[in-house]
Amino acid sequence: MKKIYKYVLLDIIQNKIVLIYTFLLLVISFSVFTLESNSAKGLLSLLNIILIIVPLICIIFSTIYIYNSSEFIELLVGQPVKRKSIWLSLFGGLASSLSLAFFVGVGIPILLYHADSTGIMMIAMGLFLTVIFVSIAMFAAGIIRDKAKGIGLSILLWLYFSLIFDAMVLFLLFQFQDYPLERVMVFFSFLNPIDLGRIQILLQMDISALMGYTGAIFREFFGNSLGIMISFAGLFVWVLFPLLLSLKKFKKKDL
């Protein structure tokens, strides 16, 4: 398993797309912090990149990589290696390399310009979202054999988590605006890892006041140590759940 993981990790680190992704993140991060006189504004400018661009790149690149490695996976399956070890090694290599790319491109500039609790939380959420969307990509590639359909499903899942989910929640809020749904929003936030990451970052940046009474509910729940632990537990579930589903499918898959 270690040999497969090492091979995948080295292969992805040397990939031109990952190198370009790291370089662009690094350029954008340093540009944001140098152009803004206040580093807190620079963090806010990086927020959309972490919540939108990072998940998109991770899910598309990981899905394409799995499909392009189909012959390599078939070769490994023919060897005396457990399928579980093969799949987890692929996941570990993808997650580690893309997490390293994010840390170099965004984490290092944040540590240089804004190394406080807010900056640390933003780095943590970015790393979590990287690993989560690699896991979701493994799920999409694991359940669909056709490459085009698998990539399409990955893009659709990204659209759902980044845009469609929020639109559905807003629709429900408008339809049931006469009812107290603020506490229900806490539950809804756990159904979307991007929303969960956004809430944690906004609370650390003390912008929850802009969210009104809902923001007060979020601060009451997520602002204490127990709430933070529960939210991190929710992110861990988002890492494990798609990965375990894809692993179950891969074990039974006829290659």
- Could you tell me the sign of the dihedral formed by the alpha carbons of 213, 215, 218, 220, in that order? negative
- Report the alpha-carbon distance of residue 103 to residue 22 in Å, rounded: 9
Owner of token pair 């956004």: 198
pLDDT on residue 216:
60
Cα 36 to the center of its chain, rounded Å: 26
Tokens of 78: 């023919």
The reported pLDDT for the residue numbered 70 is 86
Residue ranges in the chain modelled with pLDDT below 50: 209-210, 212-213
pLDDT value at position 73? 86
pLDDT score recorded for residue 239: 95
pTM for the whole thing?
Answer: 0.91
Q: What is the pLDDT of residue 97?
A: 95
User: Could you tell me which residues come within 8 angstroms of residue 104 by beta carbon, excluding any fewer than 6 positions away?
Assistant: 22, 25, 26
